[in-house]
Amino acid sequence: MPKKVREMGIVIGTLSTGEKNCITDVAGVRVGHVTLDEKMNQDGAYACTGVTAILPHEGNLFQQKVTAASYVINGYGKTTGLVQVNELGVIESPIMLTNTFGVPAVTQGTLQFMLDTNSEIGLSTGTINIVVGECNDSYLNSIRECPITPEHALEAIRKASTETAEEGAVGAGKGMMCFGYKGGIGSSSRIVTHGSTNYMVGCMVLSNFGQSSDFLTHQYVATSDQSESIISPTDGSIIIVLATDAPLSNRQLTRVIKRCGIGLGRTGSHFSHGSGDIVIGFTTAHRIAHQSDELVETRTQLREDHPIMNQFFAAAAEATEEAILNSLSQAQTTIGRNGHKVEAYEF
């Protein structure tokens, strides 16, 4: 079985990881995948793609929203829902990941799930904001055939659990490449401490960026006989999802998730022109009721100038870097459309 890089002796940063070293170390966070890996017709068309669902908590996400933020490192991407996330500072749906042309179908499927579980949406209350992120998997996946359907989104949501999430060439990561090798889903976590108080930070990435010549491999292995990948993909993209249980405001979350770009840069990315490098963050510390008769609501948040904030900045950078490496270390060599093959990277 493919291993996380930490199991190979590659330790990123100084902060401790959670028990699972996964975004699901943040209590209540659930992850589900649906993976498509099959021929579609006799002309070489191949479904090599999928859907990944990240649910911030186990309850009704529309009725009990979470504080959230997003940050665009480089905006060559096709997400849905982030304008409202940044305007209102909340997320009220699962966070969904898929391929570029799968965004409409995944949005529809996720919308259907939320309508089925909230009969008042669009009738006695307002509409809902669905959040979907994407990367382009067209080297391995017959993206023009649009193999993703709304049902795949529903299935990924139904499969979501708090167990250690699968990583590598699974779910939305099935057809993705990273530094010219097989990439996909990766995850990691960090513990932030102050005295007897512990907070968890978890990261999940959908990695699909960079050329092999960009990869700063010397940081992770003393020597490597891995040959340089001959695949020269377009600039690619990455979606980074950061979760925490710390009481942060959406403005503080924005400050923290900006530091995910540091972890991305440490691996060798320079945020290329055509790369959609986007971060979505949320905290489970606040459950914000959809409806309330109260004029004022009260929430706690960390002090801005407390030294613990620097730990959160470090946690975001470390967890992102390690999640990217885990997306590589756990991905397996994959064959997709027209016989295209992408090799796994050997650490």
Beta strands 95-99; 181-182: pairing state: unpaired
Number of residues that make up the chain: 347
Contacts 24+ apart (CB under 8 A), 115-122: 117/60, 117/62, 118/60, 118/62, 118/63, 121/62
Whose structure tokens read 């382009």? 136
DSSP class per residue in 257-286:
HHTHHHHHHHHT----TT-EEEEEEEEEEE
Task: Note whether 283 and 246 are within 8 A (CB).
Answer: yes
Of residues 176, 157, 179, 158, the one with CA closest to residue 167: 176
Nearest-angstrom CA–CA distance, 40 and 300: 52
Active-site annotation holds for 277: yes
Q: Is 180 exposed, middle or buried (0-12, 13-18, 19+ CB in 10 A)?
A: buried
Catalytic residue among 93, 245, 277, 329: 277
Whose structure tokens read 């972890």? 263
Active-site annotation holds for 275: yes
Whose structure tokens read 């995948």? 33
Catalytic residue among 70, 189, 249, 275: 275
What are the tokens at 167? 């990583």
Residues 6+ away with beta carbon under 8 Å from 223? none
Catalytic residue among 237, 249, 269, 329: 237
Q: Enumerate the active-site residues.
A: 237, 275, 277
